[in-house]
Structure 1
């Protein structure tokens, strides 16, 4: 069986995240610039050799310029020193349409193993003859485990920014010739 390379279709993909604010509401954001590549044995994802993701942290967008600037500062991502988030898989286990993607996530120079939930949308040929694969990848991480430790407390004792970051990636890949 031959090795197949897959690359991101950025027009049909997104990475979003949510975090608690003041522990009473949720703030959403997205990364506008990222890349995902994969290699498989054959034309489907029954045997995956690798999945790699690189996210440009400076593309963070929470629909608030001041907040985005704070997130890029040394209080959070320190974009001047750590401008990318990276993920490199060690295995993908699909059982039908659902599975787990295991690998190493690197944020702000700190690498930790993570297990992400994967839902496969399948593999199809589009009207232009391109073979495409779709996935939804979800997970939750502790921001503090990755050195994103900035915090403040309100007068009433509420934490300003929650520790749990929930993320959702809608990913469409294109088989390379």
Structure 2
């Protein structure tokens, strides 16, 4: 079977995350610049080769001071580690729509194996004849596993920034 290359459609995709702030509200952010190398056998994603890279300097939480803090050595250390990468080792079907995406996530020079729930929305042809595929990847990671340790204790107890980071990744892929 022939291999198929897929590209992320950036106008219909988002690499997002949420982190609890002061233990009771979520702050949302996303990465603006990213790329992926995705290769399947035909249109079958079950054995897909998936490699993803995000530019740390493109982090956007709608607050320049917070974004600069995230890029600093307190968090991502973008000067020394400008990229976040993910290399999948498996994309396993759970049922008709649900999969598990497993692989190595590298941030700040630390690589950890993660398993994330993924929803495959199937294939569709857009009005211009392009074949598209939809993926929603969720889950959570503990930022401290990658050395993103900065925090501040609150006078009322607890901490300023949660250790858990919830992922919300919406991908529309374009068949090349």
The TM-score bracket by the shorter chain reads over 0.9
CA distance in structure 2 between the partners assigned to 1:78 and 1:8 by the alignment: 26
Match of 2:2 in 1: 2
CA distance in structure 2 between the partners assigned to 1:43 and 1:118 by the alignment: 17
More displaced 10-residue stretch of structure 1: 26-35 or 161-170: 26-35
Determine helix, strand or coil for the equivalent of 1:69: helix
TM-score by length of 2: 0.96
TM-score by length of 1: 0.95
Q: CA deviation at 1:43?
A: 2.0
Unaligned 5+ segments in structure 2 are none
How many correspondences in the alignment? 175
Match of 2:100 in 1: 100
Q: CA deviation at 1:44?
A: 3.1
CA distance in structure 1 between the partners assigned to 2:136 and 2:48 by the alignment: 19
Determine helix, strand or coil for the equivalent of 1:67: helix
CA distance in structure 2 between the partners assigned to 1:167 and 1:43 by the alignment: 26
Residue pair 1:19, 1:28 contacting (<8 A) in 2 also: yes
Match of 1:55 in 2: 54
Determine helix, strand or coil for the equivalent of 1:154: coil
Match of 1:118 in 2: 118
Residues 135-146 of structure 1 correspond to what in structure 2 (within 5 A)? 135-146=135-146
Match of 1:173 in 2: 173
Q: CA deviation at 1:13?
A: 0.4
Determine helix, strand or coil for the equivalent of 2:138: strand
Match of 1:29 in 2: 29
Unaligned 5+ segments in structure 1 are none
Q: CA deviation at 1:133?
A: 0.5
Q: Deviations over 1:60-117 (max 9, x none)?
A: 1111111111111110011101111100000101231111001000010000000011
CA distance in structure 2 between the partners assigned to 1:14 and 1:20 by the alignment: 20
Match of 2:40 in 1: 40
CA distance in structure 2 between the partners assigned to 1:48 and 1:40 by the alignment: 7
- List structure 1 segments (4+ residues) > 4 angstroms apart after TM superposition: none
